[in-house]
Amino acid sequence: MLRDIDSDSCREEGGLTDEEIALDNSRINFVFRRKVRNVVGRRYLGVAWLILNPIVTALVYLFVFTVIRSSPNAAILLTGISMFTIFSNSFKSGMNSINDFSGGLKAERVRTRVLTYSILYYRLFDTILQASGISLILFFGLGIGAPGVATFILLSIVMSVLAEGVALNISTLTKRVPDLTNIVNYSLLLMFFASPALYSLNTTTGIHYTANEYNPFTFFVEAVRHVSGLDSAFLELWNPLTWSITSLMLVLSIRGYLTLDSQRWRVSSWS
């Protein structure tokens, strides 16, 4: 493969040889393990914290709501909080991905496909671990059937990959305007309480209900609750508007992953 670098872009022409593919696979594994190490650090429980964090967060909210006697449905609360945590973490990860496009390999320029695959692998790894602990509680502790648990895990994975891809579209902008990161973080915090994470969409009315009809997170969490036999407005959301917003999210996500190479170039010292 030939690499052609000029003031406009860095282009790689020609197919990859077997040796180059094997080298890329080694790089992908290195970048993936590096991401895991960055999260785990020197913690004694290691990756177990990825499983425990959403469980502890959900249990804290369940305790708080029990104390103030709002009598929340534990299954609704667990699915909502855990899925929003996954959504939020994925979006922030995509937004901050531009902070390091080297993958930790400082001595050479790795191909963009290496970074793309490592991002996807880590997103799957992180989401499966986060969802697994909650799914065990839903199945063994709260009596949610296998279809509901399987839907919870599957839609959590789909949602996380899409959310990270969408956020990749604004990663360059957040690099140029750091204040945007704070705005997004505050928006996600507001979205947590405004979205049907702590409650079912059926408990909302008026503008609150209408606003959540445009919220992609609502589609995923209400679908899980519907399959799980919980209170859900999923059937009311099954309409062209939902499909249009979901399709737009899919298009933006694909665009985010496909533009990683151009984003790398825009923030490089060569451009």
Query: Looking at the domain assignment, is residue 257 inside a domain?
Result: yes
Q: Do residues 58 and 134 touch, judged by C-beta distance below 8 A?
A: yes
Task: Encode pLDDT of 192-209 as tens digits.
Answer: 989 999 889 998 889 999
Worst-scoring range by mean pLDDT, 18-22, 150-154, 209-213, 255-259?
Answer: 18-22
Tell me the residue range of the domain where 159 lies: 24-266
For 128, other C-beta atoms within 10 Å of its C-beta total: 16
The answer to whether residue 198 sits within a structural domain is yes
The answer to whether residue 11 is domain-embedded is no
- Asked whether residue 15 is assigned to any structural domain, the reply reads no
Please report whether residue 191 resides in a domain: yes
pLDDT in tens, 11-40: 666 667 777 778 777 878 877 777 777 766
Structural domain count, the chain: 1
The answer to whether residue 223 is domain-embedded is yes
pTM: predicted TM-score of the whole model, two decimal places? 0.81
Cβ proximity of 125 and 36 under 8 Å: yes
Specify the residue for token string 């399959």.
227
227 HSE (CA, 13 A, CB side): 18
CA–CA separation, 35 and 124 (whole Å): 12
